[in-house]
Amino acid sequence: MIPLFNWFRRSFLERGLDRELQYHLDRRVADLSASGIPEPEARRRVAAELGLVRVREEVRDVWLTRWLRDFIYDLRFSARSFLRSPGFTAATLLSLALGIGATTAIYSLVDQVILHALPVHEPERLVLVDWDGDDLITGGIGSSNLMPYPICRELQKQTRLFEGVLCRAEIQVNLTAGGDPRPVAAEIVSGSYFSVLGVGPALGRVIEPEDDAAPGAGSVVVLSYDFWQAQFGGAANIVGSKALIGKQPMTVVGVAAAGFRGVDVGAVPAFWMPTSRYADANLPTNDDLLNSPTRWLQILARLRPDVTPGRAQAGLRPWFKAWLQDSTLRPGFPTISADRRRAYLASSLEVTPAPQGHSPLRQSLSQPLWLLFAATGVLLGLACLNVAGLFLARGSARGREIGTRLALGASKSRIGRQLLADSLLLAVAGGVLGAVLAPLAIRGLIAFLPQEVAANALRDTLSIRLLTFAFFASLAAGLFSGLAPALRAGGDGLVNSLRERGGTGFGGVRLRKAIVTLQVAFSLILLIGATLFLRTLTGLMAKGPGFDTSGLLSFTIAPLENGYARADASRLVRRLDEQIRALPAARSAATARFAVLTGGHISNKVTMQTDRRTVTDGSINFNAVSPGFFATLGVRLVAGRDFDQRDSRPPGEPGPHSAIVNQAFVKRYLAGRNPLGVLIARGGGASNVTPNSIIVGVVADMSYRGVRDQSEQVFFPLFNSDDTGATFYIKVRGASEQAIPSIRRLVREDDPRLPILWFRTLDDQVNRSLSTERLLAALSGSFGALALLLSLIGIYGVMSFVVTRRTREIGIRVALGATRASALRLVLRDAVTMIAWGVALALPCVAALGKLVQSQLFGVTATDPATITAAAMVLAAGALAAAFVPAWGASNVSPTDALRLE
């Protein structure tokens, strides 16, 4: 550390040393003169005995250490020589900055979404407890890893294994705090939540076990630090104030520690409330969630220091077995077949490490992100190869300089170190540029990401981790790109390099060809990837959602979140449905309970009654729609009829119910029979499901969760149960922009405080649902183009070099009667060999990587021969063109010119 510090104050040190030595000299000269030696003679003698130059050097070595001084001189020399060749410097810097910037940007997302541990006390001891096996209760509330609350309460007693157990669920509620109500994301958590995570308050207190002790106990909320800052400007008097959750008044008791954003990367909660207040959490159920077996929470636990996840899992087994047995005896346990019962009793609890918490975003994004990360890694490798190639070319030009230095006594390792300093300086400069570019790139990437939440949850700032990553990436890039030229410098014979003529010395043709071959291989891999993702995107866009999106608008309301009673909410939906249909701007309009193409869905098995009773083997997606839904969306009715007013009847009213299924459902489950008239019902397994809905129609397939979706679907009529939330679909006359205000006005007139969610065109919705595909296609496409460009430059460079070296040979051949064409062939043969080797190297890699990308593709396999051939042809054609330019020049050389060159 001291040497580095000294480097920055070296001029101060130098001045001190000068004064000190001057004092010594003057005193010594004075003493010698006093003893009778004449002054000039004394000065000469003193200078000789002290050896000023050597003393200075040795003292400087003490200050900076030898190694650092030499290295600093190397760096200065490198910097000066870079400034002398700006073209070379710009090309290498740009290559490295692009490579490092892209890698850093993707790494930032990988880090935030996949790798980053929660900012809590000892996150490595956190585990996720999940049900493994048949849990009987179908259709939980929430996304994934769902568990019932009673298990969480029981697990808290397993103190042998766990220091603490928490459960949490993410919720969407309307919050009124000093302003209009607005929908926010929040977390409903057990009283143990904050203490298990080891997160304290920034202000006031956090949620404590007492808040959660009894149903309805703590009407308290704890705000997140970010929300407190953004909404209340960090006002200290927030503690003790009232806030409305829906229509329920709650007390703000504190603000959680800064930097803590819940345990889910994808959802940033505005506040936390205790599970005792589940009734206010706007959950779509009337169950007693604290005691019923309904699954609605994720369970995280903190292991005791000496307990591994494996031991915890084994340790839970006997207790859980007893719990399962016991649960079958409880009242309300469904009647099930002996097989199901065995499967249920064979369930176990799975304990997996969860230092990063629980995140559905991670599950959906981790594969695309790793893919892109791998692609940027390849791109960075390519950039390094490019720089290595440029260095070798520069090495040729510097051959004489280096030869001279060797002849003057510089050691080979010294020269090698100089070249390494070159590449390190360049890499660090490239890294700095890359780090400057990275936040821009990250911002662009986040804009591509599918979920709206991603925009709040992910940050585009540079963290220390990220900078460390960029630094090491640059260092690795520098070493990688500088190593080959440095080794060459050490290995080349001194005599050789001095004997070579200027400009062509310092050969390395074979090394440069190897580099170009690798570049070809790398870029072919990226090109094939780009083609595959592009075909996936275009395939999905061509397929479309299965209905006509032009002039189609949709918006969603969630009246329950605004404190509506269920019956009122249902009436509101019906009222709006009628009013929108009557709007002059609406050509037709319809309503569905669940929005399509948003990724959400509701599914369950279906029980069918034909000549016998059968249950579907897979889950079927459900929706409930109003009459005219299919006509509004332009989905073809294949058989039977659409719903009409007769089908909508309130729950409990006797009479047959109706259902419409799609073609995929008929094809899979009712093939070869007339689907009309078949009785079906939601749910499977339990014997209390009675198929009582008659299939009255069959519609063409349309996308539900996303454009990719080709699922079996069943539609029930809307308005025959309590319809508490809905998405309205309106086919407008004329431009959709003109219809939007009238629709907004209509909702506002009914209830000015009801927020309209996701008011957008279906074109927009289709685009949004394809965001991951677009992200992959756009990024892999640009990576592929960049890679192609880099390798074409590489080929051009190496071919020009080869041609320069062979000009004389070609001249002689032409003089001896060879034709232009044969000269051209001679040069191009080299290029063809490199390209062929590159392709041969890439193909097995593509085959191996294919498995990784397959799940991201649509309508094309990862090893699709046409795609691979096309990519290889593009690459080969480009590479041949790049090689042709110098080759053409060589074949046009006149023999006399070529020989005169000597």
Partner 1 sequence: MPPPRFPIPQGTLDMLILQILSLESAHGYGIAQRLEQISRSVVQVNQGSLYPALHRLEQKGWLRAEWKESETGREAKFYSLTRAGRHQLAVEKDSWARLSGAVNLIFEEGSR
Cβ 58 to partner 1 shortest distance, Å: 4
By CB under 8 A, the count of residues binding partner 1 is 21
Q: How many CB atoms lie within 10 A of CB 851?
A: 10
CB of 409 to partner 1, least distance (A): 24
Closer residue to partner 1, CB minimum distance, 15 or 613? 15
Q: Which is nearer to partner 1, 17 or 841 (CB)?
A: 17
Rounded CA separation 370/543 (Å)? 27
Which of 7, 10, 14, 17 binds partner 1 (CB under 8 A)? It is 17
Helix (H/G/I), strand (E/B), else coil: 36: coil
Based on CB atoms, which residue is closest to partner 1, 37 or 899? 37
CA contacts within 13 A on the Cβ side of 15: 3
Closer residue to partner 1, CB minimum distance, 24 or 304? 24
* Rounded Cα gap, residues 485 and 385, in angstroms: 11
To partner 1, the closest distance from the beta carbon of 22 in angstroms equals 10
Q: What minimum distance in Å lies between the beta carbon of 59 and partner 1?
A: 5
Minimum CB–partner distance for residue 8 and partner 1 (Å)? 15
Q: Answer yes or no whether residue 821 interacts with partner 1 by CB under 8 A.
A: no
- Residue 63 or 225 with smaller CB distance to partner 1: 63
**Alpha-carbon distance values, 587 to 545, 553, 628, 726, 730 (Å):** 21, 11, 11, 20, 8
Minimum CB distance to partner 1 smaller for 24 or for 708: 24
Among 12, 23, 67, 333, binds partner 1 (CB under 8 A): 23
Contact pick of 9, 15, 27, 851 for partner 1 (by CB under 8 A): 27
Q: Indicate the residue among 46 and 762 with the shorter CB distance to partner 1.
A: 46
Phi, psi dihedrals of residue 354, rounded to the nearest 5°: -140, 55
CB of 67 to partner 1, least distance (A): 15
Residue with tokens 């003292």: 59
Helix (H, G, I), strand (E, B) or coil at 687: coil
Smallest separation (angstroms) from partner 1 to the CB of 164: 49
Query: Does residue 11 interact with partner 1 by CB under 8 A?
Result: no
CB 96 within 8 A of CB 425: no
Residue 623 contacts by C-beta under 8 Å, 6 or more apart in sequence? 592, 593, 594, 596, 602, 704, 713, 715, 716
164 Cβ contact partners less than 8 Å away, ≥ 6 residues apart: 156, 192, 195, 196, 301, 302
- Cα–Cα distance list, 27 to 41, 50, 448 (Å): 15, 13, 76
The phi, psi pair for 266, rounded to 5°, reads -80, -25
Member of 4, 16, 259, 339 binding partner 1 (CB under 8 A): 16
Q: Which residue has the tokens 């940033």?
A: 268
| Candidate list 24, 571, 581, 636; residue touching partner 1; CB under 8 A | 24
| Contact indicator for 343, 136 with CB cutoff of 8 Å | no
Window of 12-20, 366-374, 727-735, 796-804 that interacts with partner 1 by CB under 8 A: 12-20
Q: Which stretch binds partner 1 (CB under 8 A): 21-29, 207-215, 443-451, 719-727?
A: 21-29
- Which x/- pattern, by CB under 8 A, does the window 625-654 give for partner 1? ------------------------------
| Candidate residues 7, 14, 28, 634; the one interacting with partner 1 per rule CB under 8 A | 28
* Helix runs in 398-508, H state only: 399-407, 412-448, 452-457, 464-491, 494-499
Closer Cβ to partner 1, 54 or 80, answer by number: 54
Q: C-beta of 40: minimal distance to partner 1 in Å?
A: 20
Residue 226 C-beta: closest distance to partner 1, Å: 47
Footprint (CB under 8 A) of partner 1, residues 737-756: none
Among 9, 15, 19, 753, indicate the residue that binds partner 1 (CB under 8 A): 19
Q: Looking at 14-22, 475-483, 594-602, 724-732, which segment touches partner 1 (CB under 8 A)?
A: 14-22
Do 557 and 754 touch, CB atoms closer than 8 A?
A: yes
21 binds partner 1 (CB under 8 A): yes
Residues 165/156, Cβ–Cβ less than 8 Å: yes
Measured from the CB atom, the residue of 28 and 400 that comes closer to partner 1 is 28
Closer Cβ to partner 1, 47 or 824, answer by number:
47
- Which lies closer to partner 1 via its Cβ, residue 19 or residue 443? 19
Smallest gap from residue 13 Cβ to partner 1 (A)? 9
User: Where does residue 452 rank: exposed (0-12), middle (13-18), buried (19+ CB within 10 A)?
Assistant: exposed
Name, in order, each residue with C-beta under 8 angstroms of 583's C-beta and a sequence gap of 6 or more. 589, 730, 739, 742, 743, 746
Go through 743-782 and write b for each residue having 16 or more CB atoms within 10 A of its CB, e for each that does not: beeebeeeeeebbebeebbbebbbbbbbbbbbbbbbbbbe
Residue with Cβ nearer partner 1 (21 or 498): 21
Q: Which is nearer to partner 1, 6 or 251 (CB)?
A: 6
Supply the DSSP string of 811-825, one letter for each residue. HHHHHTT--HHHHHH
Restricted to residues 38-97, the positions that interact with partner 1 (CB under 8 A) are 49-51, 54-55, 58-59, 61-63
Applying CB under 8 A, which residues contact partner 1? 2, 16-17, 19-21, 23-24, 26-28, 49-51, 54-55, 58-59, 61-63
